[in-house]
Amino acid sequence: MHLLKLNRNIPKFQLWTRRYSHAVLHDENEYTDTPVYPPILDMSLQGRKLRERQSVHEKIRNLKTVEEKQIALNMPRYYGWKCVMFNKNRIPYNALPMVQCYTRTHFKTVNSLPDAYSETNPLAEQVVKETKSIIEDIIAVESENVRHIHNNPQEKSEEQLKEENITKNIVRQINRVICNKLADQLPHVLSAQIDYEPRHEAFWFVGGTDVPHNVIQWRKQYKWLHDRLEEPIDRPVQYIGTPHLAVRSQLPLKPIVPYEEATNPDFKVPKFTYVPESVGYYTEFRHGTNIPGFWPGDYDEFGLLSYHGRDHMLSRNESYGHEDNINALHSQALKSSFGWLLAQANYQGFTTYNDITYPLVTQTVITNAKLWSFYVYQMNTITMHNEQMDENPKHNICFGTTPLQLYDTIENGQVKGLNEDVLKMLVQFYLNAPEEREHDMKPYLGKDEQLIADIEDDNKRCWLESTYKHLVSNRPKHNLIPEIYLWERIYKIQHKTRFFEAKRRFFECGINPYKRRLNEHLPPYIPKALREYPRSKKKFERTYYPDV
Amino acid sequence: MKLVRPYPKQLPNVVQFHCSMEMTKFDIKNYLEKIYNIPIVDVRTNIKVGKFRKDYGKGYIVKDDDIKCAYIVLPKDMTFKYPDLFEGLKKEDEESMKSLDEAKKSFNDYLEKNKERTDVPSWFSI
């Protein structure tokens, strides 16, 4: 027995002696010419939490593929983030200040397109002259001579549906005419991809806003949070939109203003701290998705132009007034342009935590076939979460026109008073040629692996692909979020009248279902018959969630 | 309809009311426009569930009545600030509290000074 003890001790003893001798050796090199100190770290609770968050951001940055980054953004929430929804169906009164702050965009109303477009003037005029008569015919035929049959869904009126359908058809036809005209002259138009009603979704965090009521109530429970009741939090924001038509190409558009201008204090956006509910926005639990109308791996990944409808204007209250209607259009343009560009940036490997290193530009048209407004949007920054909201000096810039009338009336199947300047602006959007950039477009993606399609390991690739697609589909979970019944809220939570009962429900065991992480579930079970030969004790399949 | 302090913090052009459960958005709008001549852009309403509380002295739980809240949106160039009704009263309160504090302090000083000779009357001193 004693021998055994001794035996066990021997290796430990050896380790000791070795370590000791090593230390002695090390002593000789201990002194350097200049003193080297470890960095001084903030050891307060806030400081430690900040470092924790920063390390997560760093981990997301270091992930190699686009899809893994998207899964990583959703890792902290099994049942999804409580997102402020930016839909295009409804724009509340006085929406512009909030949208400007949430997209960090300086908006400039202009009467004509920025100077960068002036060199394409002569060609545009020629194209307008040649296509004018065809476009007149299209408008006349589509507006009056086509009967639309549609099932009326609840959320849209008959009038709105009619306008939507007419606009959709006219936009498709005009796009076809202009593309056909320009395809033989301009290679970027020939090779451009055209999406009909694509899925545009974007997800980001906005910090520095007021704390919602329920968070304050939660903080009041704990004594150590009493001096931090009003500390701002991140609000997840989700944009969802479907343009009538989107054009995209392999190369990005040229910046409208130089990238250095992004830090110009003239473009500063006033902060909007009120809760979004007070403006009239609502929240929804969902996974954050970034989809610019195609799946990762498409070659044409930069947007040139998107056409949006404005049928929601018909459902606005008359009391909002004309000026607010125009502001609503501006805010729609900001949301949709920023949303599309952010999704594109996400496919380049940037996320809401890792800022873009170069500007991206897109052009947006909002139309109902008669009234057209044109917007040029340059995205310079996408980080606006809590730590960056005040420190980030960059801002996005948008130039936009008020709604311009394309024609006056349609009489006897003839369009009267077609405004050529409006058509010219539209053609100039097509003439704006994208250009190859000299810098690295995807600095935060891996060298060999940029998409999960590049991953060699079959299991990992298939698992990530199906998980990613399932995540962005936002189907409800198989097991829905556990519910607190009203009687439990009254008699167990608000008033402890049933303290003698066994505590078995989740809220009595201190489990917060909203804090459940995405990977907190049992992986698929491997039946015994399918386990590896000869004897494998591995009961569950492997998961490949990104480590963040 | 009762004007209440906006909670949670609302935009400066939003006014909050508690109103009768039977009033609709149209009623609220007409009431304020026709009687008080207030320009109204939008009306939002929600119904707040009444508080559950322990009945005083009885121990069982009762529920207060639900409240219909109306958020009136004024034109964006207009602002409404909820008046601070008790501003003057607060000052008076503070002053009276101050004098009370002073009295308490002098009494404590007196006790402190005389704690060694508890049975001696106050007039008996040098």
What is the rounded distance in angstroms from the CA atom of residue A467 to the CA atom of residue A80?
14
Beta bridge partner(s), residue A236? A205
pLDDT in the model for residue A89: 77
What is the rounded distance in angstroms from the CA atom of residue A503 to the CA atom of residue A474?
33
Residue A472 gets which letter from DSSP? H
Structure tokens at B40: 């109204």
CB-based contact A278 B41, cutoff 8 Å: no
Nearest in space to B42 (alpha carbons), one of A92, A482, A54: A92
Q: Which residue has the tokens 């296509």?
A: A131
Coil, strand or helix at B79? coil
Tell whether A494 is within 8 A of chain B (Cβ). Answer: yes
Coil, strand or helix at A399? strand
pLDDT in the model for residue A29: 72
What is the rounded distance in angstroms from the CA atom of residue B6 to the CA atom of residue A210?
15
Beta bridge partner(s), residue A305? A247, A363
For residues A423 and A392, the answer to whether their CB atoms sit within 8 Å is no
pLDDT in the model for residue A24: 52
Structure tokens at A28: 């000789």
Residues, chain A? 548
- For A210, name the nearest residue in chain B, comparing CA atoms only: B9
CATH number of B2-73: 3.30.70.330
Task: For residue A274, give how far its alpha carbon lies from the nearest alpha carbon of chain B (Å).
Answer: 7
* CA trace torsion A293, A297, A299, A305 (10° rounding): 20
CB-based contact B41 A317, cutoff 8 Å: yes
- For A489, name the nearest residue in chain B, comparing CA atoms only: B52
What is the rounded distance in angstroms from the CA atom of residue B97 to the CA atom of residue B91?
10
CB-based contact A275 B8, cutoff 8 Å: yes
pLDDT in the model for residue A149: 79
CB-based contact B61 A275, cutoff 8 Å: no
| Interval A191-219: pLDDT, tens | 999 999 999 999 999 998 899 888 998 89
CB-based contact A317 B42, cutoff 8 Å: yes
Question: Counting one residue from A and one from B, how many pairs have CB atoms under 8 Å apart?
Answer: 46
Cis peptide before B8 (omega within 30 of 0): yes
Which among A210, A275, A320 has CB closest to B41? Answer: A320
Which of A217, A274, A326 is the mutation pick for testing B, counting most B CBs within 10 A? Answer: A274
Task: For residue B13, give how far its alpha carbon lies from the nearest alpha carbon of chain A (Å).
Answer: 10
Residue A117 gets which letter from DSSP? G
Amino acid A249 reads S
| Interval B8-25: pLDDT, tens | 788 999 999 999 999 999
Task: For residue A213, give how far its alpha carbon lies from the nearest alpha carbon of chain B (Å).
Answer: 7
Nearest in space to A337 (alpha carbons), one of A399, A275, A279, A423: A399
pLDDT in the model for residue A373: 95
Structure tokens at B88: 């003057």
For residues B42 and B51, the answer to whether their CB atoms sit within 8 Å is no
| Helix (H), strand (E) at residue A12 | helix A2-27
Q: How far apart are the first and last CA of chain A?
A: 48
What is the rounded distance in angstroms from the CA atom of residue A93 to the CA atom of residue A24?
74
CB-based contact A275 B9, cutoff 8 Å: yes
Per-residue confidence in pLDDT tens, chain A, 548 aa: 454 454 554 444 444 444 444 555 556 677 888 888 999 999 998 899 999 999 999 999 999 999 999 999 999 999 999 999 998 778 999 999 999 999 999 999 999 888 888 888 889 999 999 999 999 999 999 988 888 877 777 778 888 889 999 999 999 999 999 999 999 999 999 999 999 999 999 999 999 889 988 899 889 989 988 988 989 999 999 999 999 999 999 999 999 999 998 888 888 898 999 999 889 899 999 999 999 999 999 999 999 999 999 999 999 989 999 999 999 999 999 999 999 999 999 999 999 999 999 999 999 999 999 999 999 999 999 999 998 888 999 999 999 999 999 999 999 889 999 999 999 999 999 999 999 999 999 999 999 999 999 999 999 999 999 999 999 999 998 888 999 999 999 999 999 999 999 999 999 999 999 999 999 999 999 998 889 888 888 899 999 999 98
Residue A287: φ, ψ to 5°: -75, 145
Q: Which residue has the tokens 């006897």?
A: A412
Within A28-120, residue ranges assigned H as helices are 45-62, 66-74, 96-103
- For A491, name the nearest residue in chain B, comparing CA atoms only: B61
- pTM (2 decimals)? 0.88
Task: For residue A499, give how far its alpha carbon lies from the nearest alpha carbon of chain B (Å).
Answer: 15
CA-only gyration radius of chain A, Å: 29
Structure tokens at A532: 């590896």
Residue A350: CB atoms within 10 Å? 26
Task: For residue A237, give how far its alpha carbon lies from the nearest alpha carbon of chain B (Å).
Answer: 20
pLDDT in the model for residue A7: 52
CB-based contact B52 A324, cutoff 8 Å: no
For residues A330 and A367, the answer to whether their CB atoms sit within 8 Å is no
| Interval A13-72: pLDDT, tens | 444 444 444 555 556 677 888 888 999 999 998 899 999 999 999 999 999 999 999 999
Tell whether A535 is within 8 A of chain B (Cβ). Answer: no
Which among A279, A320, A490 has CB closest to B52? Answer: A490
Residue A334: φ, ψ to 5°: -60, -45
**A518 alpha carbon, distance to own chain's centre:** 19
Structure tokens at A397: 């810039």
Task: For residue A217, give how far its alpha carbon lies from the nearest alpha carbon of chain B (Å).
Answer: 12
What is the rounded distance in angstroms from the CA atom of residue B78 to the CA atom of residue B37?
14
